[in-house]
Amino acid sequence: MIWRTTTMPTAFVTHADCLKHEMGAHHPERPARLSAISDQLIASGLESYLTKFEAPLATDEALARVHPLDYVKAIREVAPNRGTVHLDPDTAMNPHTLNAALRAAGAAVMGVDLVLSGKFSSSFAAVRPPGHHACRARPMGFCIFNNVAVAARHAVHAHGLERVAIIDFDVHHGNGTEDIFENDPHVLMASTFQHPFYPYSGTEDPARNMVNVPLRAGAGSKEFRAAVRDAWLPALEGFKPELVLFSAGFDAHAEDDMAMLRLADADYGWVTEQVKAVADRYAKGRMVSMLEGGYSLSALARSVVQHVRVLAGLNA
């Protein structure tokens, strides 16, 4: 295998609106997650290799490829002018949430456009709210719009791609993404997740385009890497994606007490290298990554650095 060190820069897409979305003083999905990531990118020296972009607001056209317009309209209507509105027990909107959610989905569109323009080989979006629990017409688990799904549909419908892979290594199963893409021939989704665990999906008769590998509580690097090698990589080789998207959640880290998997910082670099080799072979190296979970600020920030370092084609 020949390792290509990319000379094209990596895009870093974010927006200040994503820092203003808050769901309560003690909510784990909090603005400090994004600050921790930017601080660590600076401290590691990686920031100087990234080109920063401000995420646009997603258009109804981009959202409607994933969510019924009635759902988008309902979210716009329920958005409060002051105070907090709960969409489910875990998911709330403050007056800034609507714009944050539109920026997060807009970052997905922008990442795809930047990478498919040929000017960037990869893109990482540091945005919130996350997206992979958002179903076609239902917010869920901190998520309002399914950002990675918006990216995939944009790549297929606006750019004419035939095959897009979604890699989801968040500790929770991406039930929303599965809801949106089950049996969609343009998409292959490969995921690992703790099971049995929230949202208790992904194991009952998954569709053929879903490569779901449940991992037991306590599983760590060894089990995760075996899942990637034995299940993900053969499926990706068969699918030959033209673009690779990541639902990049970092809550399977051993230091993250949201769940009970035990990944280490290095696993995030390793899995990105494995997937990058596939992207280099079939997708001209094109990768677009969207932040999902990750609630231990230090582990989150260090793991993002490992992931983005490999996206950017840099050695350790």
In whole angstroms, the minimum distance from the beta carbon of 110 to Zn ion comes to 23
Q: What is the DSSP letter of 12?
A: E
In whole angstroms, the minimum distance from the beta carbon of 80 to Zn ion comes to 25
Nearest CB to Zn ion, comparing residues 11 and 300: 300
Which residue ranges make up the site for Zn ion (CB under 5 A)? 170, 172, 249, 251, 293
- Cβ of 43: how many Cβ atoms within 10 Å? 12
Nearest to 262 by CA among 212, 201, 308, 216: 216
Name the helix (H) or strand (E) containing 136.
Answer: none
In whole angstroms, the minimum distance from the beta carbon of 34 to Zn ion comes to 16
In whole angstroms, the minimum distance from the beta carbon of 14 to Zn ion comes to 19
CA distances from 222 to 6, 98, 126, 263, 316 (A): 29, 40, 28, 9, 21
Nearest CB to Zn ion, comparing residues 161 and 258: 258
Residue 175 sits at φ, ψ, to 5 deg, of: -65, -30
Q: Is 165 helix (H, G, I), strand (E, B) or coil?
A: strand
Residue nearest to Zn ion (CB): 293
Nearest CB to Zn ion, comparing residues 170 and 267: 170
Q: What angle do CA 245, 111, 239 make, to 5 degrees?
A: 25
Nearest CB to Zn ion, comparing residues 62 and 259: 259
User: CB within 8 A of 270, min separation 6: which ones?
Assistant: 225
Q: Distance between CA 235 and CA 256 in Å, rounded?
A: 29
Q: Exposed, middle or buried, 175 (CB in 10 Å: 0-12/13-18/19+)?
A: buried
In whole angstroms, the minimum distance from the beta carbon of 259 to Zn ion comes to 7
Nearest CB to Zn ion, comparing residues 106 and 174: 174
Name the helix (H) or strand (E) containing 88.
Answer: strand 85-88
Does the active-site annotation cover 172? Answer: no
In whole angstroms, the minimum distance from the beta carbon of 170 to Zn ion comes to 4
Nearest CB to Zn ion, comparing residues 111 and 249: 249
Q: Distance between CA 172 and CA 250 in Å, rounded?
A: 10
- Cβ of 207: how many Cβ atoms within 10 Å? 12
Query: Which of 15, 21, 96, 133 is flagged as catalytic?
Result: 133
Residue 61 sits at φ, ψ, to 5 deg, of: -60, -45
The residues assigned a catalytic role are 133
